[in-house]
Structure 1
């Protein structure tokens, strides 16, 4: 009788380990970060840079709209410096409050909340260097994809034409 109970327990354990063994030792795909959209992501200190893309108005575009989500995981505000391209004239600063999820570039017609890149010459389909940094933190350089407004989901993100200043 004891042998039958012991055999039943051993069999039950063998079935349990046999059916769950793959999940026990295999790496879980949901724990690995990946960019699920067209943009690219990274981290600068306590700031998460998520799904960064640049939208331009086509092959002859002169303005780029940086569309990015910034997440502040810190308990204090940070002023994030954003430099685009090889020249340092395309520089912007965005303040992200503690715990804030800040959407940049979502409404290009609004007076604020946008980072426009003037004298933008990159073609849709290319990559453009964008550098993110704040305080003494080590900066992050991303190769950001350049897209145009041909897809419906990006058509509202095309930047308005910027009229050059007259001197």
Structure 2
């Protein structure tokens, strides 16, 4: 009788240990960061750039940078460089301890003029502020083909005349 009891306990312990031990060595997918949307993320100092994407006009000439920036520190002036030369840098204020969204229908747009990028491509965008080391992010380029992005397409110069 004792042998049966001991065998049952050993079997139960083996089953419990065998079915739960995988969590000790297997990587947990829920602990890995990933971008759950069409945009990409990055970080420079106290600033976290989230869900960055560029929505281009029908010619791919100009783009609307859509992103959210969370500032965990003092107020900063964020520089966004998307090409070469002075005309390819945009600066925006990020208040202290806040999250600022731009490029959506409710928020101010950040227009990237003369970007010349096709939908489906990636554009190198450099984010930097103060003396902090900046971060270069490959930002996806989308167009207004999807309904949720159709109202984010920047107005072209010909459409405003």
TM > 0.5 between the two?
Answer: yes
Give 1:102's match in structure 2, choosing from 85, 90, 100. Answer: 100
**Partner residue of 1:71?**
70
Q: Higher mean Cα deviation, 14-23 or 90-99?
A: 90-99
Alignment of 1:13-162 (within 5 A): 13-58=13-58, 60-72=59-71, 74-107=72-105, 113-162=108-157
Tell me, which stretches of 5 or more residues in structure 1 are unaligned? none
User: What is the CA–CA distance in structure 2 between the aligned matches of 1:80 and 1:24, rounded to whole Å?
Assistant: 42
User: What is the CA–CA distance in structure 1 between the aligned matches of 2:84 and 2:91, rounded to whole Å?
Assistant: 17
TM-aligned CA deviation for residue 150 of structure 1: 0.8
Q: Is the 8 A contact 2:63 2:115 kept in 1?
A: yes
Number of residues of Structure 1 aligned to a counterpart in Structure 2: 158
User: What is the CA–CA distance in structure 1 between the aligned matches of 2:6 and 2:75, rounded to whole Å?
Assistant: 62
Greater percentage in helix: 2
User: What is the CA–CA distance in structure 2 between the aligned matches of 1:30 and 1:16, rounded to whole Å?
Assistant: 23
Q: TM-score, normalised by structure 2?
A: 0.85
Tell me, which stretches of 5 or more residues in structure 2 are unaligned? none
Q: Is the 8 A contact 1:63 1:162 kept in 2?
A: no
Alignment RMSD = 2.2
